Structure 1
Amino acid sequence: MSDIKLTYFNGRGLAEHIRYLLKYGNIAFEDIRIEQDNWPALKESTPFGQLPLYEENGKVASQSLAVARYIGKKINLAGDDEWQNLEIDSVADTLTDLRLKHYPFYQESDPEKKEKLKQSLLSETVPYYFERFEKFITKNSGYLAANKLTWVDFFFATTLDTLTRILGVNVSEKYEGSSKLKKKIEELPAVKTWIAARPETPF
């Protein structure tokens, strides 16, 4: 049994980029998946009532980006200096901003309101962010920061996957750099193997 455990719901969500990074780094881990029905009983035992949780040698940490940053450093996917790490963190926080803008659509139950939110996202939010991501990718030799592959590129790929699943539209289809970067991550041998073998999940 591995000394590293990753606990999340039975889905991709905010854990998938961590799984990608662990697989890429050839780090063995136990992929623990919690069903939604079992979550209320476990919630109070977590540090801040949320998942994912990362456990290493009995020590537990939360917050998916903090975990990704930590693993990125372990497997040489961090910046070469503090400024590059700032660039990486800036992109990661921007991706979080983008994800949060999709939550009202995801949570809306009224079909008419939901469709209006979707059209606003596709006509305003997605172009606003992706036109800027394209500039970053061009500037950084096909990556988002530091002129090289870093952990935030993995988060980018899984975020695109999440947004596409939520909206039912390939959000990066019109953006060549973003599409190429996502494909580049998904075709890394260890990640490609994981994608082919991972469980089919509702999200």
Structure 2
Amino acid sequence: MKDSNIVRRLIAADAAAYRTVMLDAYATHPSAFTSTVGEREGLPLNWWEKRLGAEVNAPSVVFGAFDDKGALVGAAGLSFEDRERARHKATLFGMSVKASARRAGFGRRLVQAVLDHARAHGGLRLVQLTVTEGNAPAQTLYENCGFQVFGIEPLAIALDGALLAKVHMWCDLEDGRSASATGSVVPAAR
């Protein structure tokens, strides 16, 4: 029997489901992502597996949200800086929850799982992200999880002839927030 509504780190066996969720996100919400369906749909499955970060010093990790049927309904990733002077920073990327699973707390649990992983990673002080200007629900979610705006990048992405701005946000990992009080976060299956 599947645990209901859990968030856990994704593993290689989740790569196909992760690919499906992200391609749907790129297609359904093109203004929310810098990558496009066209850029990602042709990538081999091993690219998606590598992005999940199974190896010890992986450049990124991805967490997934699963509904009560065990279906992957959302994801959020964390990428690490490898340059010595920037190793105290990480970037939250690829945050998405399927429309059918919204308003169930998955987004908050995904963000908190990423932040908890960043805190446990060692040596990290902050997590940053970008959100497309005007995406109030996403920006509010991030603010509710402890992120603050530090700037706006004008003309950041081009979409259908329009140039959209990106809001840059950051979260201080030493602020004491924890996912333990926000939902079920479990380690990756081995």
TM-score scaled to structure 2, two decimals? 0.32
TM-score scaled to structure 1, two decimals? 0.31
User: Is the radius of gyration larger for structure 1 or structure 2?
Assistant: 1
- Larger % of strand: which? 2
- Larger % of helix: which? 1
